[in-house]
Amino acid sequence: MANHTIESCAKAKMAIRDTLDIVGGKWKLVLISVLQSGKKGFNELSREAAISPRILSKELQEMEMNGLVSRKVCDTKPVTVRYELTPYSQTLDDVLTAMEKWGFQHRNNIIQGIK
């Protein structure tokens, strides 16, 4: 990234927009981090992520459509649904690690009054 050109900047901007289209917003990365500990039911996800059922349903549908989450309907009474991360979701591990690192650093800066 040392030599920036108009073309390389345009490609980088497009890649960033593509990424944000898939994982942007308030909830998707939070849901991925919650699901990293294993399969979860809908209500369990709603509780752990502190997200309303309506928004959770929408987010999970989008994540499933983009190949980040798989949904399994279990043969139980009542019927239960379990969600888990797909192997493809692991391609976001570096993104999550970088965001976690930056978030800790930023919080410490704010607490210490450094901006």
Is 11 among the domain residues? no
pLDDT in tens, 26-80: 999 999 999 999 999 999 999 999 999 999 999 999 999 999 999 999 998 888 9
Strand partners, 45: none
Residue 32: which CATH number?
Answer: 1.10.10.10
Half-sphere exposure of 29 (CA within 13 A, CB side): 17
- Let me know: does 91 contact 48? Beta carbons within 8 Å: no
Backbone angles phi, psi at 23, to 5 degrees: -115, 5
- The rounded distance, in Å, linking the Cα atoms of 71 and 64 is 7
Q: Does residue 78 sit within a domain?
A: yes
Residue 9 within a domain:
no
The residue with tokens 């997200």 is 51
Identify whether 7 is part of a domain.
no
Q: Is residue 50 part of a domain?
A: yes
- CA–CA dist 114, 22 (Å, integer): 32
Residue 95 has pLDDT above 80, yes or no: yes
